[in-house]
Amino acid sequence: MPPPKLKLYVDTVSPFAYVAYYILRHDPVFSKCEVTFVPILLGGVMKACGNTAPINIKNKDKWIEVERLRWAKAFNIPMKPDAPEGFPPKTLTMMRALCALTALHPGDEAQKPLTDCLDALYEAYWVHHKKTDEKDVLAQLLSDVLGKQEAEKGMHLIIGNDGDQADKYAVLEMAGKEGKAILSKNTDVAFADGAFGLPWFVATNSKSETEKFWGVDHLAQVTQHLGLEKPKMGGWTSLL
C-alpha cells in the first residue's frame, strides 16, 4: 500500500502558507507522508479567480494580523509580532528563482534544495524582516544556501572571478527564463486544482483518494483524510 501524499502550494508572501509549511516540515505527524512543496505566485491565483487580497478588505486586514500570530503561537512557529515593513512584498522574482531550482534538480531531487531555500527565505522574512524581495538580499540568501552544492555543478555561486566574490545571480538569471515558465505552469495547475488562496493542500491517501483543503484550520481534516493520527496536545487541540 503506497504511503499518503500531500502537496502544499507555497508563496513566501503568505504568513499562513508559512505556518502550514513550518508544520509540515517540523511536525512528526507528517513524517510518514510524502510531502511535496510547489512554489506558485499567489497573486496570479487570486487574479485568476477574482479573489481580493485580505489586506485590501476593511477589518479583515486587521484580523489576519491577529490570526497569523495565534497560529504561530499555537504551533511554536517563529514569527515577529509586527508585520514586515512594506508588507506585502513582491515575490515574483523570488518564486521564479525557486522554480528555476526545479529545472536544475528534476523530479524528487528538487525538494531538498527547494526546502533549504524556503527555510531560509521564510525565516529571513517572517522572523528577521529582511527585505527578501530586493535582488541583492535574495541573491545573497540563495548563495548562502546553495553555494557549495551548486558550485560543484559549475554555477560558481561561491567562487567568482576574483576567487572571493560569488556570482550570486546565477539562479536569478535562470529565473527569467526557465523559472518564469515553470512558475506560470505551477500557478495554472494550482488554479486548476481549485486554489483561491494559500495554504492550499492536495491530499492523497493510501487508497489513492484525493481531496483538497484550504487553510491551516483544516489541517485536522487533512490528517483524517490521509489516515494520520491527530495529536491530542499543543496547537492540534485547537483543530477540529
Catalytic residue positions? 14
Rounded CA-CA distance 164/55 in Å is 43
Closest CA to 64 of 127, 14, 21, 22: 14
Sign, Cα dihedral of 86, 176, 108, 153: negative
Amino acid at 120: A
Q: Please tell me whether residue 141 adopts helix, strand or coil conformation.
A: helix
CA distances from 143 to 47, 92, 136 (A): 32, 18, 10
Q: Please tell me whether residue 240 adopts helix, strand or coil conformation.
A: coil
